Amino acid sequence: MRDFSHDHRWLSINTATVRAQWPLDRIVDECARRGIRAISPWRDQVAAAGLERVAERLRATGIELSGYCRGGMFPAATDAGRREALDDNRRAIDEAAHLGAPCVVLVVGGLPGALAGHPASKDIAAARRDVRDGIAATLEHSRAARMPLAIEPLHPMYAADRACVNTLEHALDLCDALDPARTGLLGVAVDAYHVWWDPKLEAQIARAGRERLLAFHVCDWLVPTRDLLNDRGMMGDGVIDLPRLRGWVEAAGYAGYSEVEIFSAENWWKRDGGEVLDTCIARHRTAV
């Protein structure tokens, strides 16, 4: 297992972590100033800053991407809605390619309409069929653009509104069904926050192997957790044994960035952005 205690060369910052404080171009510059070598930006932040401007800032600073957030959201109540989702995923792939991302992270979606607070269905099996079909269709564009897709299983508490793929096993079953040859174009994003509780986690990480492990996200699970979405903890402040998890992904062949992804409305988003980044660097060394 790699030794993270002396430097932060394998630290990446998911830009949601300081999204409340800074626009994306400032985030890039603040990361560069601290010797942070990678980020994973969100599409709305890229759109707000301008795709070309972001590409230019990345080139100027030498900062890499550890992923691109995000594609997915495949289920829809109508054929038109499903087509719209596919179009949007193709755009996400093109943006990711333009920025030199290693993969597009897929948050696959849940029951149609649920994210907007108006679920149009109770049929989670149908949602899962839309997800499978949506990924299969998106893979064609992914192949043409040579842009891997990373399915991110989300914690089951998000099954209704954000992702009906909730375990690494389920995500890998989709990978095996849609990419049996393990081409490297379809894999998973292992986010400690979503999967740490899973009794099958170690075995499924081993099953994933190097070709399927496309991203590794870290933060911590706070006790108590006060908000289902925006109360993620800084590494070391909660109950996830992050070094153990990192040991598992590295034993399976993962050698990429450890990406810090913290949504924290009442704590980290209220602090100075520089303090947040400096804390990420310190905890990356001691708690990851």
Residues that bind Zn ion (CB under 5 A): 191, 217, 261
Instruction: Give me the helices (H) in 69-190, please.
Output: 79-99, 124-145, 168-178
Output phi, psi for 64, to 5 deg.
Answer: -95, 170
169 or 261, CB closer to Zn ion? Answer: 261
76 or 154, CB closer to Zn ion? Answer: 154
82 or 166, CB closer to Zn ion? Answer: 166
82 or 110, CB closer to Zn ion? Answer: 110
Name, in order, each residue with C-beta under 8 angstroms of 92's C-beta and a sequence gap of 6 or more: 43, 68, 70, 71, 104
Which stretch of DSSP H or E encloses residue 274?
Answer: helix 273-287
Strand order in the sheet with 186-191: 64-65, 38-40, 11-14, 258-260, 213-218, 186-191, 149-151, 104-107, 68-72
Shortest Cβ distance from residue 191 to Zn ion (Å)?
3
Shortest Cβ distance from residue 103 to Zn ion (Å)?
12
Shortest Cβ distance from residue 261 to Zn ion (Å)?
5
- Estimate to the nearest angstrom the gap between the alpha carbon of 183 and the chain centroid: 20
The sign of the torsion formed by the CA atoms of 45, 50, 52, 56 equals negative
211 or 261, CB closer to Zn ion? Answer: 261
Q: Which two tokens stand for residue 54?
A: 């972001």
30 or 259, CB closer to Zn ion? Answer: 259
Shortest Cβ distance from residue 216 to Zn ion (Å)?
9
Residue 41 is given by DSSP the state -
Yes or no: say if 110 and 123 are a contact pair by the CB < 8 Å rule. Answer: no
Shortest Cβ distance from residue 14 to Zn ion (Å)?
7
Q: Residues in the chain, how many? A: 288
Shortest Cβ distance from residue 41 to Zn ion (Å)?
13
